[in-house]
Structure 1
Amino acid sequence: MLVGDGTGYMLALDPRSIDAQIFEQHLDSVRHLQRFGPWPQVVERLDTALSLWRGPALGGVVGPLADAERTRLEELRFTAIEDRAQLLLEADRAGEIIGDLSGLVRTHPLRERLHYLLMVAHYRCGRRADALKQFHSVRRLLIRELGIEPGEDLRRCHDQILNGTLSSPVPADSPATLTSQGSGGFPTLTPHGSGGFPVFVVPAQLPRDVPGFTGRREELRRLEEFVSAAEVLGEAGVILVSGAPGVGKSALAVRFARGLTDRFQGGQLHLDLRGFSNEAEPMEPAEALRHLLAGLGSVPDPSEDLQALSSRYRSLVTGRRILIVLDNARSAEQVRPLLPGDPSCLVLVTSRNRLSGLTTRDGALRVTLDLMPQDDAVTLVKNVIRQASGEAERPLVDRLCQVGDYLPIALRIAAERMTSRFHGGIAVATRTIPEREELLESADTECDEQSSMRSVFSSSYRALPAEAAEMFRLMGLHGGSTFDLVTAAIMADVDHDRARRTVDFLLSGHLLRITPCNRLRFHDDMLRAYAKDRAMAEMSYRTRRAAVSRLVTHYLRTADAAIRLLYPARYPLPPPPLAPDGVATLRFGSAEQARTWFERELPNLSAAVRQAGAYGVCPVRERLPSLIQSFLRGRSEGQPSVPANSPRPEGPPSM
């Protein structure tokens, strides 16, 4: 083992038998684990490496080379100790490190990072006074020994403790992040860099909870049951919250996510995918992954492609209890590369689209939000009014709920606008209630795009294909509250199959919905007003008149056929005027079918009369009222009728 070569002697040992070599080998393995393994294994490997130390490095060896090597090994040891402490902090296990850190700061009082970690540990254990005392102690020491103030990281930590803003186990601007950005923070080790050891950042990115959040108890219950079941089964959890624009998807997601922070101590990531934005295009998956990796303290290489980014992202989150909120998604293809491969994580996605691919292929639970129930809407409006002007009477609140269509964002805007004009007390408050059209128009004047109903709707409208956008506008010209697919096809002047495909886009985006009677309607009346507004602004008068002419002519011809079948002897009516080419007439197989159709379409027939008058469609304007009167007269004279909400009888009317 002792070899001489004429100039001196050397110990020829197997590197695997030298504790210093073994120590560095363990640190090399830590680098790999930090990139691809869970944090408990990293802590275990660091413990193994540190257990090799029995005193000073190279004890008893003298000389400049030994001194330099001793300094290098000592620095590696302390960095490993600090990294282990930080990992335990990030895992919310601060109580386990306070004793060790307290002893180390006494023997190595000039290592600022040790003081930083001890301050954070005290704070996490509820010892705010001890954390502040530690800062003042190291500050006095640095001033006395070196004549300098503490570094930026210590000062920032001190300020955050004073302000109560040190909310995550390791702040977003923690030393790990600062070092990875090259800004001179503590000598911690980053996932990629100059050969150091990576230290995970525990993100806490959830946005502020919506003040006065109201209702959604049933939806929150379903979400909680799903998460609990996934934890028991050890399955990956993916939740999709979908619904119409302005219905409160993001607010619900944030409220639910904030209630889960104690169960996801690996951190919480939040990312707006800009699926429906008026200012920017939807975020590409590669860009989204770079944001998520940065939130985890990893700086991706600009040359990495989507597959490499996705692999590194999944490696970093493996084994960590992380909650990931992906807000405002456009498509399943945008979301799928962002899904972790490990069941330890929970992903919460919000979207205005149905994203059926996430439910069918990725097993996501879909929770669809609808308009607010009456009682919850009343509570929400009362809360907004109470904050601005005091208590309000129930009739006033009910009227505001009607104006806001029980849509959460519209309710808040309507209540706020009413209270901003509220200068005469309750007695004159009803005169300050905005109308629905006024609410749609005036919300743009507040210089806040995210609080504007027009902006909320337009971001969904802009995302529609051209044909679906045209159908949306045309349906805004329909005067009734509900309609069927035949009516949509006639107004758009397309065949039935093409109309169905187009309507599916509107259903997927929650701009239209299907009623229990299998009818179509806008998600809410304010959205219908917006569709009419777009039709008036973007379609020529000639185009609008042609669509209305096709609609009312269809109603005229079908109503005439129904009356002739119902009352052939009493109402021998002449045939209707010639209709434009391509306008269909329903053919009824029985009087019951004709009666069902007439009962169901009565509101639409009356609206068609008004539309005919507005666009000068004659003689439809004069003929259709007489058909309506004939039906009502026959019904009042004892003719049986089918209730308007009855299911369609077998053998529906044909074209």
Structure 2
Amino acid sequence: MNPNAADADNDFSGGAAAVVQAAQISGGVHFRVTETPFPPPRQLPPATKGFIDREVHIRQLDSLLDETDLRTSDDRLPVVTVSTVSGSAGVGKTALAVHWAHRVRTRFPDGDLYINLRGYDAVPPLNPQEALDGFLRALNVPPEKIPTDLPGRTALYRSMTNGRRMLVLLDNAATAEQVRPLLPASPSCMAIITSRNRLSGLAVRDGAIRAVLDVLTEEDSIRLLRETISPVRVDTERAAVIRLVELCSNLPLALRIVADRAVSDPDVSLADLVEELEEESGRLDALSVEGDELSAVRVVFSWSYRALHPEAARTFRLLGLHPGADIALPAVAALTGSPVSATRRHLDSLVGLHLVTRIGAQRYRLHDLLRLYASEQAKEDESPAQIEAALTRMFDWYLTRSYDSYRRILPQGRPIPGLDNGTTAAEPSFGSLEEALRWCEHERLNLLDVIRLAQETDHCDVAWKLAIASMAFFERHSYWRAWIDSHLSAVECTRHLGDRSAEGWVLLSLGDAWWDRGQIDEALQCYVNAHDAAQQVGDHWTAGYAMRGCCLAYEDSGRFADAIECADSALGIFRTMGEDRGIGLSLMSLGNGHRNMARYDEAISSYQRAMEIFRSLGNRWSEALVELQLGRALIQVPDYPAALDSLTRAQELFAEMSDQRHQCIALVHAGDAYAASGDRDEARHAWSSALTTLIELDHPLASEVQRRLKSIE
């Protein structure tokens, strides 16, 4: 920009990370620049090969995109563009939406969001809260800043997308209610929704433009076969091709399967394929019933399935037992009981025949119709004992891997019975904590689905152990809803088993989830029930931690005398059983109770004893937390130099573990120590340094820090 030319155009070209534009400036200019800005989310799945262009629908979507551009530049049209693509199963709704989205994604520089809402899958549909949690994380919202309620998440999501040019693809929706909270509000955004339902409510209330996708015309069906088989073969056997199209009911999914069969066996004529299909049609006539969504394509599926190599066919049908929307290669190997190398070959064969879709380097997905068909074949071609064996192998794989992650995330966590072979020092198979967390993130929804399936198939011992093993990840990444839902199922399973010890442990963990979420009444009830169950069976570990949980709930409720009583009881239990970590936590809680009742000598003594224990255990996070609480007590003594030493040490330890939230809390209390000692400049510096991050985290302490800064102006 030329500073000597008053009428010159503003030029913002170049690589600046931030720009300040102003005619006049008075006072200071403060801004924060992220050194490595996050790239915009790009979540679209791969496009379908050989897509047959549905020209009418493509033009319709293109026109909506032009309308989005108009709305971006015209304040009179502040409405987001929404399009629904509906049609029967297998008709190509997702293929159309994904194909078009890839064509235009460069028009949306702020990114694209995609989610499979699982509206018609075998597993429960995703609820809007779960979907928004994923979207907000993709938009780089810290987990602790994500509201717990649906209205709060919806409001934050719309704030985050406001003013951005983003494309949102909501795939496989069940109802308008499932979709509506996921619609951005900015007119510069566009949302596309696919569903078997017409979602009329979105058209009426939200102005959605509807596109109903029918089966392909005969002409387009033949075009698809020409492109996927070969123009010469198709044109040479025109009569056979027309019959193939008829037998496939003009469904793109069925046509691709037939085409791949023809390509894989070029010496067989298309007329021979017609003959095979017609024979299969007669065999399956009895299976076709009104309202059966498989009836239109069962013939094609069955014909292709029967032509598979026996091991590939077995892999396919056993995939129908998996409850999740997608599955990892090692999980398929566990399900089938085959080596990973052989499993990969079988999956490659299924991918080549369009019976399975590859969605990543080692992840696969079944179309929902194919999943239904695979499940049918598993029941028909596998004995009950074989199905039970496959489920057991799959459950064991998820349980073993989840427990490995649990041991990596919580190395001092309580061993889960039967998973450590009688030892408590099993070495996690993951190479690092980051690897364990990545695995958990990939499998998060599958873990919930497997827990549900374990409960439904009477593998209740698996269900509760898998819930406990998954808890460490859910807590670390603040997936409170998953934590709570998995444990509600687990509680039912432990009661079905009549296992009071397991019930107490699950209730204790469920109480932690409620407490972490700030729902103190629910937490306290779980802790009390956990303590009762543990007392009944003599489980001192659960009894002690449940009593310490009651202490936390009472402390948050301002019932400090009750908190001290519970901390003393927990301390006695842990000392009897030699549980050092529990002793340290109880001493810290005891110190908190005494501090809140102005008994500073007792508080400091408790904190110092807790510190010694955590240092001997190498538990640096708990050590940092004790330093923080000790610093708070020393401010009140007052002993400001000692308080600042403790709070500085807490900041350093939290920084080592990348715990910004507690690091800032320690910094705020350091500001309190400076202010109380009369050093207003250092207090202002400490509070100001903490405030930016607290605001980013949406921490309730931010408003209090702002008041403190104002008080020393």
- TM-score, normalised with respect to structure 1: 0.39
Q: Flag the structure with more relative contact order, 1 or 2, with Cα contacts below 8 A and sequence separation at least 6.
A: 1
| Structure having the higher Rg | 1
More helix per residue:
2
TM-score normalised by the chain length of structure 2: 0.36
